[in-house]
Amino acid sequence: MEPSTAILENDIARSLMDKIDNRTAIITVVGVGYVGLPLAIYFAEDGFSVRGFDVSPVIVDTLNGGTSHIKDVLSDRVKAVVDSGNFRATSDESILKDTDIVFICVPTPFTKNKTPDITYIENATGTIAKYLHPGMLIILESTTYPGTTIEIVKPPLDAKGLTEGKDYFLVFSPERVDPGNLVYTIANTPKVVGGLSEVSTDLCCRLYARIVGEDKVVPVSSPTVAEMVKLLENTFRAVNIALIFELTFLCHRMDINIWEVIKAASTKPFGFMPFYPSPGVGGHCIPVDPYYLYWKAREYDFHTRFIELAAETNLRMPDWVDQRVTRILNRDGKSIRDAKILALGVTFKPDCDDARNSPALRVIELLLHHNADVSYNDPYVPHIEVGVPKGDYTPVLGKPVKLDSIDITDKAIENADLVLCLVNHSDYDWKRIIGKSAVFFDTRGVSIAFPEFSDKAYLL
C-alpha cells in the first residue's frame, strides 16, 4: 500500500506508518471478549506485540495460561502467541505508556429506559487519556450511536493538549464479529474505517490491511458515517426479522405454513432475502442497535417510527412462544402449571456459546413464571440463571432461578410433556429427539425434515 500524502507530510504519522509496516508497533486491545480477543490474536499472529487489557483477573490469568475463554478462538492459537511472546493479557493500565495503537472493544449495553449506556467507553477513554502521547492511534470498535467518537471519545483526549490528526489519531471502525460463524472471520470480512482526519483514516487502513488485505479495507469520510454503517447493518436485520415475526403471527391465524411460504419465496433469484421465524432476537447487536439509532434521532426531533415498531415486534416474540406452549398443552388437556418442559438450546444463535440477550432465556423465564417444571439442555452452556435484574431488563420472576444443563437421555425426552426447540444446534439428533417426544414444539424449523412426525411436531 503506497503511503498517502497526508502521512508523508506528518513526521509523527510517518513514524507510526513505519512501525506498522515493520510490525514494531505495540498494540493494546482494551476488552478481550468476543470482539477484542480475535482481533488481538490475529495481530499477534501477524508478528505484532499485542497486550490484551481486561479488568477481569480471571480472564487475564486464563489467557496468560494459554487457554481461550471464547469459543471462536481456539486455545491452541492463544497458547501459540503467548509462547511466542507476541501476546500477553494484563490488568495493568500503565502498559499504555509505550503503546502505539489502542483498540477499544468494550461492551455498550443500554439502560432499562432503552438509552445507551456508554460508561465502558467513557472509562476506557479516560484511562487512555491518562497515557496519551504523540504518535498514538486510537480505534473505537464498540458499537454505539453516531457521534460517539467525536462527542465522547475526542474531548478527553484533546484535553491533554494534543491535536488529533497531527499529534494523535482517532478512528471508528465497527466490529463485524459474528459468533459461531466459521466462514466469515476478521481475516476475510471487509473493514470499514472512518477517521477524524485523512491521516488517521490512512494509518488505520494501513493497519487493518495487515490482516484483511488492502482490497477489503473500506475507508469512509468520517467516524460518524462509520458509526451509522454499523447501525444500518444491524437495523436492516432487525426490521426484516420483525417483518417475518409479524407474518408468522398472521400466518398462524390464517393456518398458513410460514416456513413453506419463505421456502417458496426464496426461489426468486433477485429482490428477496430470506429471514426465518425464531423465539426472538438476541446477541449484543440486533436487540440493541435500533435503540441507539432512535435514541439519537430524537436529538434531531426525528422519530424513527418504522425502527421502533420493529423493535417492539421483536420484543413480543418470547411472549408469543410462551403463549403457544400454553395452548399446545391445553389441546392435550394439560395445564402449563407443573407441566414438564424440556427446553433445547439457550444461546442466541446455533453452534455458539454466547447467551447474551438470548430470547431462549426469556422464554424459559416466562415458563417458570407460569410454574412450569422446566429443564434444559445446551451443549455450549452448562449453567444458566434467569430472572436476574440488570440495567436494561426487569425480570418477571420474584427471584433469580439457577438451572443446570441436563443430559438428553431417552428418559428425559419421554418424561417431558413438551420438548421445546429454542436453538437449532447442529449437535442435536433431531430425528431421535422428535421421535421420542410426546409433543414437540419447533421454533426453528428443524422438524420440517421429518414429516413422519408431523402428528406431534408443532411449528412456530
> Could you give the domains of the chain?
5-221 (3.40.50.720), 244-459 (3.40.50.720)
**What pLDDT does 391 receive?**
59
Q: Give the three cell numbers for residue 359.
A: 430470547
Please give the Cα distance from 4 to 140 (Å, whole number).
Answer: 22
The secondary structure of the chain, three-state, reads CCCCHHHHCCHHHHHHHHHHHCCCCEEEEECCCCCHHHHHHHHHHCCCEEEEECCCHHHHHHHHCCCCCCCCCCHHHHHHHHHHCCEEEECCHHHHHHCCEEEECCCCCECCCCCECCHHHHHHHHHHHHCCCCCCEEEECCCCCCCHHHHHHHHHHHCCCCCECCCEEEEECCCCCCCCCCCCCHHHCCEEEEECCHHHHHHHHHHHHHHHCHHHEEECCCHHHHHHHHHHHHHHHHHHHHHHHHHHHHHHHHCCCHHHHHHHHCCCCCCCCCCCCCCCCCCCCCCCHHHHHHHHHHCCCCCCHHHHHHHHHHHHHHHHHHHHHHHHHHHCCCCCCCCEEEEECCCCCCCCCCCCCCHHHHHHHHHHHCCCEEEEECCCCCEEEECCCECCECCCCCCCEEEECCCCCHHHHHHCCEEEECCCCCCCCHHHHHHHCCCEEECCCHHHHCHHHCCCEEEC
Tell me how far apart the alpha carbons of residues 162 and 181 are, in angstroms, rounded to a whole number: 40
Note the pLDDT of residue 183: 86
Question: How does 301-337 read in b/e, with b if 16+ C-beta sit within 10 Å?
Answer: eeebeebbebbebbbebbebbbebbbebbeeeebebe
Type of residue found at 248: T
Task: Let me know: does 273 contact 256? Beta carbons within 8 Å.
Answer: no
Return the pLDDT at 114: 75
- Cβ atoms of residues 110 and 81 within 8 Å: no
The catalytic position among 105, 205, 285, 352 is 285
Residues 6+ away with beta carbon under 8 Å from 81: 41, 44, 45, 50, 87
| pLDDT for 392 | 59
pLDDT of residue 286: 81
Q: Calculate ∠ Cα 156-196-227, nearest 5°.
A: 90
Read off the amino acid at residue 53. F
Give the model's pLDDT for residue 301. Answer: 92
Both ends of the chain: CA-CA distance in Å?
A: 51
pLDDT at residue 389, as a whole number? 78
Amino acid at 89: A
- Mean pLDDT in order along the chain per 10 residues (460 residues): 90 97 98 95 98 96 96 94 98 97 93 84 97 98 95 97 97 91 89 98 97 96 97 94 97 97 97 96 82 87 91 94 97 95 96 90 96 97 89 77 97 98 96 98 97 95
285 is catalytic: yes
The pLDDT assigned to 97 comes to 96
Q: How many CB atoms lie within 10 A of CB 218?
A: 16
d(C-alpha 431, C-alpha 145), whole Å: 44
Q: What is the pLDDT of residue 357?
A: 87
**Angle CA 323–329–331, to nearest 5:** 105
Whole-angstrom Cα distance, residue 427 to residue 359?
20
Dihedral over alpha carbons 405, 410, 411, 414 (to 10 degrees): 100
Which residue reads 445446551 in cell numbers? 378
Residues 6+ apart with CB under 8 A from 3: 14, 17, 202, 206
